[in-house]
């Protein structure tokens, strides 16, 4: 093909400089996937436990009350808050605001911190009431 060697090469991860916006974008995708896959599985298990009767529901609540169930639920809570905060950030970007470098970096750093704070506050409320 004539002139093909002069075409630009698409950059890959080894060329890009990592930054907060890149991390937030990846976390947004990971948390969305986690919510859809793991969240759906837990939700379907919960529905099946409800339909299965008292013993089935007690088995579900026993597993969710164990340390691994708590880790799973805390992870889903973080995924929810992270995906929501990141979605709001993307909504602001979609309307044309927040593209200034300092503003974009600030909100890229604050987004996961807000998700962590909301997750901590939610679980503190649940566990300490």
Contacts of 43 (CB under 8 A, 6+ apart): none
83 is in an annotated binding site: yes
SS (HEC) of the chain: CCCHHHCCCCCCCCCCCCCHHHHHHHHHHHHHHHHHHHHHHHHHHHHHHHHHCHHHHHHHHHHHHCHHHHHHHHHHHHHHHHHHHHHHHHHHHHCCCCCCHHHHHHHHHHHHHHHHHHHHHHHHHHHHC
Annotated binding-site members: 83
Annotated binding-site members for heme: 83
């Amino acid at each position: 093909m004539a002139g093909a060697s002069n075409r630009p090469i698409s950059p890959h991860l080894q060329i890009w400089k990592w930054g907060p916006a890149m991390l937030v974008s990846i976390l947004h995708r990971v948390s969305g996937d986690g919510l859809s896959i793991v969240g759906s599985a837990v939700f379907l298990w919960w529905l099946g436990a409800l339909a299965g009767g008292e013993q089935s529901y007690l088995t579900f609540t026993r597993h969710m009350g164990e340390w691994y169930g708590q880790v799973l639920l805390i992870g889903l809570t973080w995924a929810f808050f992270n995906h929501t905060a990141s979605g709001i950030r993307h909504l602001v970007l979609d309307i044309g605001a927040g593209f200034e470098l300092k503003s974009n970096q600030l909100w890229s750093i604050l987004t996961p911190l807000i998700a962590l704070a909301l997750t901590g506050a939610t679980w503190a409320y649940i566990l300490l009431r």
